[in-house]
Amino acid sequence: MLSIFKKKLFGDSVTSSDETPPYVSAVICLMIEIARLDGKIDTDEIDEIKQFYADAYPNGNFDEIFEDLKAWTSHKESFTPFINIINSNCNKKLKLEILGNIWSVILSDGNVDPYEDALFMQIGDLLLITKDELSALKH
């Protein structure tokens, strides 16, 4: 499955019915990186990521994709490919929903780390969402 995502990340963005849509994988990568900022990914954060995946792709195998993407993103230095996939596959309404889900991951461990907050704002900016809209999602 990881090779399929890599192909989609750097190649075409067409999926068949049995593949995870590329934007879902890109969002999961961002969620994983947000969850990692405090040095560990706890079970509450994993549960939030799993809920996003189940809502977006109910027929998928979360455990498989999560482990693959967690290992793969640990070697990435830029969010740009993930942002590009989301920008090219999602309208503003979906981007706001995605950011709401990312904020839920941040809140899930009961501690909003300043780095998580800053990264959330940066991701929102790259997704062309205004600071006012991002602030509204946080409240």
* pLDDT, tens only, 2-39: 454 445 454 444 343 456 778 999 999 999 999 998 88
DSSP helix/strand/coil, 42: coil
* pLDDT, tens only, 79-96: 899 999 999 999 999 999
Answer with the residue of higher pLDDT: 126 or 37.
Answer: 126
pTM of the model: 0.85
Q: Residue 1 — pLDDT band, cuts 50, 70, 90?
A: very low
Q: What percent of the chain has pLDDT over 70?
A: 86
Cα–Cα distance measured from residue 123 to residue 134, given in angstroms and rounded to the nearest whole number: 10
* Domains of the chain and any CATH numbers: 40-137 (1.10.3680)
* Average pLDDT rounded to a whole number, residues 112-124: 94
Say yes or no to pLDDT of 47 above 80: yes
Cα–Cα distance measured from residue 38 to residue 117, given in angstroms and rounded to the nearest whole number: 12
Predicted local distance difference test score (pLDDT) of residue 123: 96
DSSP state, 88? H
Say yes or no to pLDDT of 51 above 90: yes
Under the phi-then-psi rule, with left for phi > 0, alpha for psi from -120 to 50, and beta for the rest, what region is 128? Answer: left
* Average pLDDT rounded to a whole number, residues 106-125: 93
Mean pLDDT, rounded, of the chain? 86
Residues 6+ away with beta carbon under 8 Å from 86: 23, 26, 27, 95, 98, 127
